[in-house]
Amino acid sequence: MKIGVIKDPKQGEARVGMTPENVKILVEAGNEVLVDDHAGAGSGFTNEQYVEAGGKIVDTDTAWTADLIVKVKEPMESEYHYFKKGQIIWGFLHLAANKACVEKMMEVGVTALSGENISINGVLELLKPMSAIAGRRAVNLGQYYLEKQHGGEGILLPGIEGVEAGTVVILGGGNAAENSADMAVGIGCHVIILEVNENRIKQLQERYKDHNVDVLVSNTENLEEKIKEADVFISTVLIPGAKPPKLVKEYMVESMKPGSVIVDIAIDQGGTVETIDKPTNHADPVFTKHGVIHYAVPNMPGATPRTATIALAKGNISFLKDVSVKGLEEALESDESLVSGLSVYNGKVVSKALADSIDVPFTEIGDVL
């Protein structure tokens, strides 16, 4: 199979979908790998390393002629003209927030494999390291924007001897939330986690029983009350393949401390905060509304591309090898976890969560495979 490794044009995105090691594995498996010129530069991988691994350095137009396209993020509008019938596009696509992209895929007849939705034994294993990076960075970003010169309330989030640390409130109790909590606990913050699942609440209560962490049921009453205490509020809610609801209402944001900070990790899928009507980017990451600083960058791990690329490449290589060697249909038949990542198949939306989120026709996978 001919595989294209694309240099993502999204602002601030320096990750790449394959390391040279990945390229070597796929070439040795009998594939031709076309690497977009300097695609790995942002992550510290040179053209020479990809060539040594057996890849071919080509321009962007040529890379997009491949049968299997490996990206990090969803295709941008500037890339839609490259789509061709039967082409497979792999990446962290977050299509529920990109209806125009899905409609173009439907029109052309493209297949989309969304790595963020791939579930292995109930765990989003490929997304897990990206969520960990985003969760950890969220606390660091909160510290940064709380400083007065950035418009924040002027507190040192970890506090110092004799002055208490700030409060970090986390909406959701998954992997990103746990990583945020670990970071916040590690610097001495008071942490409040709001989670809806009873079993997960018990797990988190046990994990943090010896720390200054409150784990509460996520409901409107608790959210209304605890968001007022937040110096940093981090939203981590994820519904695989679907847009999350706008749980954080504008009146709740209005009730927050002036100069406090919201970091919406969920913005990849459309976000959970009513006062965020569109994503920001790494070049212009924040805005202030009702006196509260909002950070809404959808590709947060793109700021640490070396770490993120190595992690995502370890996760995706077995799937990419299976698809390239067996062909997509056989790979899907032999691996249920790969099926969980299939969003669009030959132009048909086969993810119910995606179809419902963007109001397009849904097709059962069994009807097209």
Q: Is the Cβ–Cβ distance between 17 and 35 less than 8 Å?
A: no
Three-state secondary structure call for residue 49: helix
pLDDT of residue 242: 87
Q: State the DSSP H helix or E strand holding residue 304, giving kind and residue range, or none if neither.
A: none
- CATH fold label, 2-118+304-368: Rossmann fold (3.40.50)
Using CA atoms, how far residue 200 sits from 75, 116, 137, 193, in Å, is 34, 21, 23, 11
Q: Give the residue-averaged pLDDT of 218-237.
A: 97
Q: Is it the case that residue 239 has pLDDT exceeding 90? A: no
| Local structure of residue 156 (DSSP, 8 states) | -
Give me Rg for the CA atoms of the chain: 21
pLDDT of residue 241: 84
Closest-CA residue to 126 (of 286, 315, 270) = 315
End-to-end CA distance of the chain: 20
**Alpha-carbon span 363 to 355, nearest angstrom:** 9
Q: Give the residue-averaged pLDDT of 261-273.
A: 94
pLDDT of residue 320: 98
pLDDT in tens, 160-196: 999 999 999 999 999 999 999 999 999 999 999 999 9
pLDDT confidence bin for 259, thresholds 50/70/90: very high
pLDDT of residue 122: 87
Q: Is the Cβ–Cβ distance between 111 and 89 less than 8 Å?
A: yes
Domain spans in the chain, listed from the N-terminal domain onward: 2-118+304-368, 128-303
pLDDT of residue 53: 98
Q: Is the Cβ–Cβ distance between 253 and 287 less than 8 Å?
A: no
Please report where in the chains the tokens 């070396």 appear, as a residue: 306
pLDDT in tens, 47-74: 999 999 999 999 999 999 999 999 999 9
Q: Is it the case that residue 219 has pLDDT exceeding 90? A: yes
Q: Catalytic one among 38, 81, 94, 282?
A: 94
94 is catalytic: yes
CA 118 to chain CA centroid, nearest Å: 12
Q: Is it the case that residue 369 has pLDDT exceeding 90? A: no
Q: Give the residue-averaged pLDDT of 111-132.
A: 94
pLDDT confidence bin for 8, thresholds 50/70/90: very high
pLDDT of residue 21: 98
Please report where in the chains the tokens 């695609």 appear, as a residue: 39
**Which residues have a Cβ under 8 Å from the Cβ of 211 and sit 6 or more positions away?**
185, 191
pLDDT of residue 287: 98
pLDDT confidence bin for 235, thresholds 50/70/90: very high
Q: Give the residue-averaged pLDDT of 204-216.
A: 97
> What string of H, E and C letters represents the secondary structure of 53-68?
CCCEEECHHHHCCCCE
As a whole number, the mean pLDDT across the chain is 96
pTM of this prediction? 0.92
Q: Give the residue-averaged pLDDT of 34-48.
A: 98
Q: Give the residue-averaged pLDDT of 25-31.
A: 98
Same fold, 2-118+304-368 and 128-303: yes
CATH code of 128-303, in short, is 3.40.50.720
Q: Give the residue-averaged pLDDT of 124-145.
A: 96
pLDDT in tens, 304-363: 999 999 999 999 999 999 999 999 999 999 999 999 999 999 999 999 999 999 999 999
- Which residues make beta-bridge pairs with 295? 263, 286
Closest-CA residue to 292 (of 245, 242, 250) = 250
